[in-house]
A and B are shown apart, each in its own frame.
Chain A
Amino acid sequence: MGRTLNAEVGKFKPGDRVTVKFEDRPGHLRTPWYIRGKTGWIERVHGEFLNPESLAYGRDGLPKKTLYLVAFNQSDIWGRTNNADKLLVDIYEHWLDPAGN
């Protein structure tokens, strides 16, 4: 994985299991529908970025949000594969909760 140094920011670390929030609010959201409510793990901490949900309306995008590369088992998303394939999505911290149990 490129840039092997993870950014030293944010509340989640590589390996942490996380669940994507199932939010349904209006606005410019960059968390795809298919991944909402799903559980995966942090693969990489990309660092802090301006918030697109604010930038999309001409606002300044602050405060910056920590962006993570979150990995999921394909079988957990679609339920129909039983191979080891993975799906990886770049998700902002405010969309993630620590996974239960």
Chain B
Amino acid sequence: MARGHHDVGGLPGAGPIDQTEYQLSDWEVLADAVNQALGAKGIKRTDEMRRAREEMDSAAYRDMTYYERWIASIEAILIEKNILTKDEIDRKLREFDAKWGEP
């Protein structure tokens, strides 16, 4: 069992800290709110979300941004709990494309 990709304390090779302040995009505010709402309803726990992110593909974990990882773990846990399926989500996205055109 190797060290998890999330377990980064003390790993060498880190660079300077980018202190730029960023405004959250609408989709990030939404991801944050959906996550909190699911928690408030007792549908998922933060511990489950963390575990889902630890189970992600390691390359994806490093490449994705913070809220992209949240969305991936929200999806993984909702599928695990049989609340949504991947097909439903994919289908919904195709509906968006049909309605508004591909992004």
Contact = CB atoms under 8 A, between A and B. Distances in A.
A–B direct touch in complex (beta carbons closer than 8 A): yes
Interface stretch (B20-28, B30-38, B42-50, B86-94): B42-50
Interface of A: 24-26, 28-29, 32-35, 52, 55-58, 61, 77-78
Nearest to A25: B1
A54 B98 CA distance: 43
Contacts, number: 37
Interface of B: 1, 3-4, 7, 9-10, 45, 47-48, 50-51, 54, 81
B47 A55 contact: yes
Given A24-B1, A25-B1, A26-B1, A56 B9 contact: no
B45 to A, nearest CB: 5
A52 B3 contact: no
A26 B10 CA distance: 21
Contact of A58 (B10, B48, B50): B48
B75 to A, nearest CB: 16
